[in-house]
Amino acid sequence: MTWQNVVQALALVLLLVVTVPPLGRYIAAVYGSRDDGTAPGDRVFGPLERSIHRLCRIDDRREQRWNVYAISMLAFSLVSLLGLYALLRLQGSLPFNPTDRDGVGPTGAFNTAVSFVTNTNWQWYSGEVALSHLSQMLGLAVQNFASAGVGFAVIIAIIRGITRTTHRSRTLGNFWVDLVRGTVRILLPLSFLFALVIASQGVVQNLSGHTSATLVDAAAAESVGSATQAIPGGPVASQVAIKQLGTNGGGFYNANSAHPLENPNPITNLLENWAILVIPFALVVAFGILVRDRRQSRLLAAVMALFLVCVTAFSMFAESNGNPELTARGVDQSISTTQSGGNLEGKEVRFGTSACTLWAGSTTGTSNGSVNCMHDSFTPLGGLGPMFQMMLGEVSPGGIGVGLMGLLVNALLAVFIAGLMVGRTPEYLGRKIQAAEMKLLTLYILAMPAALLGFAAASMTLDSAATYQPGPHGLSEVLYNFASAANNNGSAFAYQGTGTQWYTVTQGIAMLIGRFFLIIPALAIAGSLAGRPKVPSTSGTLPTHTPLFGALVTGVVIVVAGLTFFPALALGPILEHLSL
Amino acid sequence: MSTTTTLEPDPPAGGAQRAPKVRTKPSASRSIFDPTIVTSALLDSVRKLDPRTMARNPVMFIVEVGAVLTTVLFLRDVGDAETQENVFSALVAGFLWFTVLFANFAEAMAEGRGKAQAATLKATRADTMARLIQPDGTIVMRSSSELAIGDRCDVVAGEVIPGDGDIVEGIATVDESAITGESAPVIRESGGDRSAVTGGTRVLSDRIVVQISAKPGETFLDRMIALVEGADRQKTPNEIALSILLAGLTIVFLLAVVTLQPFAIYSGAEQPIIVLVALLVCLIPTTIGGLLSAIGIAGMDRLVQRNVLAMSGRAVEAAGDVTTLLLDKTGTITFGSRQAAEFIPVHDTTEVEVAEGALVSSLADETPEGRSIVDLATSAHGLVPADPTGAELVPFTAQTRMSGMDLPDGRRVRKGAADSVRRFVTQQGGTVPLELLPIVDGVSKEGATPLVVIDQQPGGVWRVLGVIRLKDTVKPGMRERFDELRAMGIRTVMITGDNPLTAAAIAAEAGVDDFLAEATPEDKMALITREQAGGNLVAMTGDGTNDAPALAQADVGVAMNTGTQAAKEAGNMVDLDSNPTKLIEIVEVGKQLLMTRGSLTTFSIANDVAKYFAIIPAMFSGVLPALDRLNVMDLHSPRTAILSAVIFNAFVIIGLVPLALKGVKFRAEAASAVLRRNLLVYGLGGVLVPFVGIKLIDVVVAALGVN
């Protein structure tokens, strides 16, 4: 680790510390923390929301029980999925297609539609080569907003389940109202502002096709066999803004955030990295306000930050040490003012190992999945960090809504074990955890490893799904890709093989499992807790805001993931590292 | 409530106070590893291998399937494989069988003590001949198993009571030792709160007529036998929740192991099935899975050892969750035998007059208070009890809250609670002296109970003679008990029929958190529903018929065995010792039950870390030597490593049987302190112990020549 590492990380932390609490308070206020029933932006956004409600015939006074809430969420996702699928298939014959892209193939379109609807944003294709501007704007960008909006709705419903004690008819709110509210009052204004800021720094925003430029470097012109270069343009800044803020991560360009037109300079790099983390952390602050116990959110945020910092530091350490094979051959890989240093394979020299690993930690901690360097080229340990962070279940701090949801489920599990250990029926925030909740919790815990290990193992047995690299690194690639899909992350150990029918279909299914087989049990838990009388807190109650409990939650997350994935990891990145 | 006291076999004479009989040690002094229990448990553990029995426990069922599979594979390959390979396969298969047997043994051990006790009880249940009273008054002999509800039976000294019922006629001393283990006889009489008798107990003196209230086969004794046997043991809510989690973890590990084979094949290191089965069995939570039912049975058994019969495991678990404890003041917090300490006259009477009135009003009062008044009047004031012939006893009722005597000469004497006496005197046209109130208040403030004595001469008006100061003593050690409960987050509420002043004084002396004074059964009920509405779980004891609704409403209702049939039916536990202080022990047993489950679950899962470090390098280091660096324990060879993990996994179950049966050590502390200690012991300990254990076993196994 070098001082560059530390300074970049500190700058990011400082930005977050300043912005997260006010944004958290804003989100809480949007979702009803004020006692007088008002919410910020009533005058500006209120009329817009009301007209959307009227247009879509949403009765904003009607509340839904958990099952209706879940069905609404599923219906919305299904319609989104079908719509996006149709758009991708038909893009060749639709307008706003200046670069004349053909329709996407059936399994590829399925994969992409699922990917954007589930907030995964896995991309098996190159955006600038495969998609029209219409697909990007009406398809992907809209789903970037919608899938993040669903995340808001889900977590708010869960918080209502935990906080409502004697609410009539045990409802969790109205999915449509929550969806519209989060999108209109949080995502749209934030993205708009953020797009302006990054556009001012040079991120492209236009509706043109290719811009032709004459190459000035004769050697380069000779190597590509052409004196001109076609530079693809498009509505990039607007897309990048929501891609980062909405924990989406799907890039406009194939090179994602390593592309100079998406992420031109260190300032945009820092800001975009901030944008990845800010809403997931702010949601934790909002949680504390809404459950009227800010100590809870401080604890959860600390646990999330602990994972994030440890994994990032671990990768940073591995990457800044460089490649041991090169070190053995006497190559100077030190980081200095004259060279970026460290393991630079697959990294932008302008970012270096520190900005890359910082980003890698953030993007895999949040289920964002955008990359500013190629994780496949990390050292085995450097790559293990991001992979393991996804395997933890995307809780550090995870995707919008679903990250906090995941940590809350882990907290419930910790509460269950701890509650038994102190001799009382386990309870969280005064709600007893009993057999019904444990059933749902077990379903939740099973879904992701089943999808990840099941499909990864199946892939290893198929010749058609042969890995890109031989040896343990090949296994790491497959594990990483399904870890990414099953956790709705979307980042890739980049390699070419994922456009096959096998991978597009299986990863699509893994993404669906990772999204809905987690959200539905979690909503059901909230539904079952809703309206349950609150157990008064006594000294016999296990406090859930203490460092001791934080350690327990951390332990539960690590132990559950560690025990599940250790054998597979041992044959992948661990073996690769030990073989160096 | 102030006049109901626990029936003590030999009431102390002269008001001498005795230490309360609080059992701290289980009454049955059978050790956990009684040889007869161990022998039958060994047989039972083999009998329990029946897959239909095993299927009820998914974790251990998987182990049994694994044991069958490895045995079959061993037998299939025994001819072709080299000796070391055969030794390895045989040992793995053998220890998987032992793992199952050890878990079965734990359960059988837990059941053993209950079975032994049930055998004794069954002997008591033996069919007896009852003398059934026909409607016309004639008596016919009828087998006790043919009695119907409502039948009346005549039972005389020396006979066994044929079935559960209420005494409708007579009074008798009864030997209930068959059920309670208490050899001293108890008095049972018709009417009131002491009328219930239990089938199988023996009448020692006199003659009673019992009206049968339970069908043969559904009697208290039958239920008790079923309970201690664990015949119809149902899983408790927390146990179900934990079983679900354990099943979920088992599936996760099954997934991890099944998917490992394709990864291994890809890596060029395909694994033998035996090794994969060994890995799976080591990973799934066999420790807690194997001990779970034993913990539950042992928890119930611990209550039985304390002479408490819980009608359901659910109630035992609820006891651990109790946040509000309602304790009757009399007999629980205080000795209950309040002793007369002083006679206080009002301005126009003398102390002797008060003593004389008190004596007369208490002559027929057989309660300890009544006897202490007689004692004080005779010893301190030299009065001689008058001949009560011709006098009419006026018993205490909940309505008048007074008792006394009407003498043959027309004089009437009463004593009773201050407020009811005052109301009575005023209603009857008498006057209440002004200084009575300060005297009564003064007595109350000291924590003593004032009884006001009044009399009425023939033709005269009621006159207040003075006040008897009854002093009740708080049992020693109660304050410490309540402090402990408070640390555990349990609030104690003292229930008393005393006036608020008396109640406050005693509450302060005993150190309870709150009190309910002048409590009527309705007040008690209201208090319970109020506490429950606030999310509290309430535990209480009771014995009277008027306690029945509250006992039923409370989450944990402990009926005294001396109580009425109605009270016993309403509560979800019966205390055979009829010791209300037992409630505190019941709470501890409930907590201990959950703590044991939680701690062993943590231990079981924490163990997996070391097992991975033993087995994963062993599986792969042959083909992928780099992974041998994960062999941090430096185990002898891949085979000894896997074997050591399997053996450790089996022996840890046997090693933890005593803990499962005795329960995790209970200390009255705040939740966070308990968690910190248990996490340290069972979490951190659970990570470290297997590293040491597996290494030691590996050394032994290697020394024995396994390679």
pLDDT tens-digit series, residues B600-636: 999 999 999 999 999 999 999 988 999 999 999 999 9
Between residues B22 and A120, the one the model is more confident about: A120
pTM for the whole thing? 0.85
Q: Which residue has the tokens 């006159």?
A: B463
Give pLDDT, residue B442.
85
Q: Which residues in chain A are contacts of B536 at CB distance < 8 A?
A: 535-536
Instruction: Kindly determine whether residue B244 and residue A439, on different chains, have CB atoms separated by under 8 Å.
Output: yes
Q: Which residue type, as a one-letter code, is found at position A321?
A: N
Check if A65 contacts B (Cβ < 8 Å): no
Q: Is the ipTM of this complex over 0.95?
A: no
Cβ-based neighbour number of residue B477 at 10 Å: 12
Instruction: Kindly determine whether residue A559 and residue B605, on different chains, have CB atoms separated by under 8 Å.
Output: yes
Q: Which residue type, as a one-letter code, is found at position B659?
A: L
Report the residue from A421, A535, A574 with minimal CB separation from B602. A421
What percent of chain B has a predicted confidence (pLDDT) above 70? 93
Give pLDDT, residue B362.
84
Strands B392-394 and B402-406: antiparallel
Give pLDDT, residue A465.
58
Instruction: Kindly determine whether residue A568 and residue B602, on different chains, have CB atoms separated by under 8 Å.
Output: no
Confidence of residue B8 (pLDDT cuts 50, 70, 90): very low
Is B301 one of the catalytic residues?
no
The overall average pLDDT reported for chain B is 84
Give pLDDT, residue B4.
35
Q: What is the mean pLDDT of residues B562-583?
A: 81
> Who contacts B546 (Cβ-Cβ below 8 Å, separation ≥6)?
B398, B521
Cβ-based neighbour number of residue A38 at 10 Å: 12
Parts of chain A with a pLDDT under 50? none
Do the beta carbons of residue A392 and residue A554 sit within 8 Å? no
Residue B569 has pLDDT above 90, yes or no: no
Instruction: Kindly determine whether residue B674 and residue A421, on different chains, have CB atoms separated by under 8 Å.
Output: yes
Identify the helix (H) or strand (E) that includes residue A515. Answer: helix A501-529
Interface contacts (A, B; CB < 8 Å): 213
Q: What is the mean pLDDT of residues B400-406?
A: 83
pLDDT tens-digit map of B432-444? 888 888 888 888 8
Residue B498 has pLDDT above 80, yes or no: no
Q: How far is A472 from chain B (nearest CA, A)?
A: 7
Q: How far is B580 from chain A (nearest CA, A)?
A: 22
Give pLDDT, residue B565.
78
Q: Classify burial at B473, counting beta carbons within 10 Å of its beta carbon; exposed 0-12, middle 13-18, buried 19 or more.
A: middle
Domain positions in chain A: 3-211+228-327+341-578
Between residues A30 and B331, the one the model is more confident about: A30
The CA angle A363-A365-A370, to the nearest 5 degrees, is 15
Strand ranges for B527-646 from DSSP E? 538-542, 556-560, 573-575
Give pLDDT, residue B10.
38
pLDDT tens-digit map of B181-207? 777 778 888 877 678 888 888 888 888
Check if A534 contacts B (Cβ < 8 Å): yes
Q: What is the mean pLDDT of residues B458-484?
A: 84
Between residues B217 and A76, the one the model is more confident about: A76
Q: Which residue has the tokens 């599940």?
A: A564
Give pLDDT, residue B12.
37
Q: Which residues in chain B are contacts of A413 at CB distance < 8 A?
A: 245
* CA–CA separation, A354 and A3 (whole Å): 10
Q: Which residue of A has its CA nearest to B664?
A: A421
Which range is least confidently modeled, A544-553, B450-459, B470-479? B470-479
Residue B556 has pLDDT above 50, yes or no: yes
Do the beta carbons of residue A384 and residue B555 sit within 8 Å? no
Q: Which residues in chain A are contacts of B323 at CB distance < 8 A?
A: 535-536, 538, 540
Residue B471 has pLDDT above 50, yes or no: yes
> Who contacts A574 (Cβ-Cβ below 8 Å, separation ≥6)?
A380, A384, B627, B630
Closest alpha carbon to A253 in A146, A118, A123, A369:
A123
Instruction: Kindly determine whether residue A450 and residue B255, on different chains, have CB atoms separated by under 8 Å.
Output: yes
Closest alpha carbon to B650 in B703, B612, B693:
B693
Instruction: Kindly determine whether residue A566 and residue B612, on different chains, have CB atoms separated by under 8 Å.
Output: yes
The sign of the dihedral angle between the CA atoms of A439, A443, A445, A449 is: positive
Confidence of residue B26 (pLDDT cuts 50, 70, 90): very low
* CA–CA separation, A143 and A133 (whole Å): 14
* CA–CA separation, A327 and A352 (whole Å): 18
Q: Which of B151, B301, B328, B575 is labelled catalytic?
A: B328
Distances (CA, A) of A153 to A20, A29, A66, A240: 19, 14, 12, 22
Which of B239, B244, B514, B664 to probe by mutation at the A interface, max A CB count within 10 Å?
B244
Distances (CA, A) of B184 to A127, A504, B10, B181, B690: 91, 81, 8, 9, 52
Q: Which residues in chain B are contacts of A574 at CB distance < 8 A?
A: 627, 630
pLDDT tens-digit map of B333-362? 877 667 888 899 887 888 888 888 888 888
Q: Which residue of A has its CA nearest to B237?
A: A435
Give pLDDT, residue B21.
38
Which of B236, B242, B243, B245 to probe by mutation at the A interface, max A CB count within 10 Å?
B245
Q: What is the mean pLDDT of residues B510-524?
A: 87
Confidence of residue B408 (pLDDT cuts 50, 70, 90): confident
Q: How far is A151 from chain B (nearest CA, A)?
A: 26
CB < 8 Å from B in window 403-462 of A: 413, 416-425, 430, 433-435, 437-439, 441-443, 445-446, 449-450, 453-454, 456-458, 460-461
